[in-house]
Amino acid sequence: MLNRLAALTIGATALGLPALAQAAPSQSGPSIISQILLFLPLILIFYFLLMRPQQQRAKKHKAMVEGLKRGDTVVTSGGLVGKVTKAGDTEITVELGDNMRVQMIKAMVIEVRGKNDPVPAND
């Protein structure tokens, strides 16, 4: 069995050697322009599907945070809902209940609801 396997391996190698000897003429590889043309569509797809939407979300969040004012109802990244009582440059004070106020970083706000917007029901 082992001899037969060795004979098949030698036979396959002998059949493959002429194919290697007839290799195509040597080239230095594909040109730089063809490589760029290959990767350009991939880069564009990556940009329009991943990077651009993230930049737009970040810009919208920044505008929302900069527009915070006293009286806005906010939802924080921790899930707390409260009313802004004081807005500073980087921090806000949020009233969560009667005589319960917390101070937090503005960037932790994920949603701003208007003064009269209804709170969605938990169905």
Q: Could you report the per-residue pLDDT of 35-77, keeping only the tens digit for each?
A: 888 889 999 999 999 999 999 999 999 999 999 999 999 999 9
What are the distances in angstroms from CA 112 to CA 80, 99, 122?
A: 12, 21, 18
Q: Which residue has the higher pLDDT, 46 or 5?
A: 46
pLDDT at 13 (0 to 100): 58
Q: Where are the domains of the chain?
A: 67-113
Q: Is the pTM of this model over 0.75?
A: no
Residue 87 contacts residue 70 (beta carbons within 8 Å): yes
What token pair was written down for 65?
């945070």
CATH topology of domain 67-113: SH3 type barrels. (2.30.30)
pLDDT at res. 26 = 55
pLDDT at residue number 8: 53
Q: What is the pLDDT of residue 15?
A: 53
